[in-house]
Amino acid sequence: MKGISLNARMHRIWGAYERQLSRRPVLTQMATSCLLWGCGDVLAQRAVEQRRLSELDGRRVVCTAAFGAAFMGPVGHFWYQQLDVICAKLLATGSPGFLAAKLIADTAIMGPLYVVAFYAWGCALIDGSGWEGFKKKIMQDFIPTYTAELAVWPLFQAFNFTRIPVEHQLLAVNGATLVDACFLSWARSQDDWVATVLAALQAWQEGTDGSRKAAAAGQAKLVAWRATAGNS
């Protein structure tokens, strides 16, 4: 009964979402983007930065959620709608060329725009570093961040464009963005996120090497003890 009740409740929630999406598409996309981006930043602070609830940067959460509402909601809504319309005029819907065109456009246009916009938003509203901070962030972090995004988004978007209706594609992106926003929020908050990752990997490697050496030393002592015991 509980399973049936839960399914019925989820069905009602989804139905309410569908109705709002039909009546107020942009506002609905803004609201869902706001919620998921805010959750992504909380996830970044809790899971990656290991902050307690009392240590969360509330202003950062609000500003990140506002980015989802102000940028990803309206821009993403019109982007996925118009991308489908334009590609459908040029190529047969559902054809390999249609999918390839959407993937290339999304990767070459929306991908870098999304990263640049988030860094600009953060420098202006979150840490207040302004134009100089933005230039430094772009020069230092844009290429590695965009490269990291390329490792995930084209594959996800291939699924999104072929399996998800156009009106729900931004919701699917925002669902995946819960993890991506976690990464971007953390990367933006670091002075040099690549150096931070490399330092962590080096520390892990040194710890692994130390454990191996300790294990080898212990094994050698055990062999020596057995040899001594055998001789006696």
pLDDT in the model for residue 189:
72
39 within domain boundaries: yes
What pLDDT is recorded for position 156? Answer: 92
* Residue-level pLDDT at 4: 56
Indicate the number of domains in the chain. 1
Q: Which residues in the chain come in under a pLDDT of 50?
A: 215, 222, 225
177, part of any domain:
yes
Sign of the Cα torsion 117, 112, 106, 171 reads negative
What pLDDT shows up at residue 17?
Answer: 85
| Domain-embedded: residue 227 | no
**Token code pair at residue 81:** 């709608």
- Residue 222: what pLDDT? 47
The pTM (predicted TM-score) of the whole model is 0.75
89, part of any domain: yes
Please return the burial class of 79, using the count of CB atoms within 10 Å of its CB with bins 0-12, 13-18 and 19+.
Answer: buried
Q: Which residues have C-beta within 8 Å of that of residue 150, sequence separation ≥ 6?
A: 107, 111
Task: For residue 7, tell me if it sits in a domain.
Answer: no
76: domain range? Answer: 26-211
